[in-house]
Amino acid sequence: MSGKFSYRFLIVIILVLILCSLLVRIIFFSPGGQAKEVVDKFYRYEQEGEFSKSWNLFHSSMKEKFDKGLYIQDRAHVFMNHFGVETFDYTLGKPEKIKNWKMAQGSSPMKIVYKIPVTQSFKSKYGNFKLQQDVFVAKEKNEWKVLWDYK
């Protein structure tokens, strides 16, 4: 009886491990999971005031809009100086796959992007407030890169 129990228990453990492995692959290695991870990394850098690192995660279309030095200066100035905050919290929503998305009117469509809702929560000298923004992520040279909507 003890041998049968051990054998069945071992099979159950193996099945649970296989299921857990599949879930991890689906969540973290799916395109939507990878896109969400890049957005998380972007906002962690922003949260820490590492604006140079967050700028590096921009798609080339975004880098054309912002000079790196000016972006770093503006982000620190607006959020830290004007709002009087030291940092913020954020939450990310569920990634949504979108086909043929355009960043702006007249721009070329991007074949596949993921839209990820982001909510930033600030505690400032002007009170507590939230900023909600849909952030988009597209592959560029086999890396997921961050985009904002300008339509």
Q: Where are the domains of the chain?
A: 31-148
Phi then psi dihedrals of residue 72, to 5 deg: -60, -45
Rounded mean pLDDT of the chain?
88
For the segment 90-106, what is each residue's pLDDT rounded down to a tens digit? 999 999 999 999 999 99
Residue 86 has pLDDT above 90, yes or no: no
pLDDT for res 28: 52
User: Which CATH number is 31-148 given?
Assistant: 3.10.450.100
Neighbours of 36 (CB within 10 A): 22
pLDDT of 3 strictly over 60: no
Asked whether the predicted pLDDT for residue 112 surpasses 60, the reply is yes
Beta bridge pairs of residue 143: 140
Longest dimension (CA), the chain: 72
Would you state the torsion angle of the CA atoms of residues 78, 83, 86, 90, taken in this order, to the nearest 10 degrees? Answer: -90
**At how many degrees (to 10) do helices 31-47 and 2-29 cross?**
70
State pLDDT tens for residues 17-29: 777 566 655 555 6
pLDDT mean over 129-143: 96
Percent of the chain with pLDDT over 70: 89
Query: Tens digits of per-residue pLDDT, 48-58?
Result: 989 999 999 99
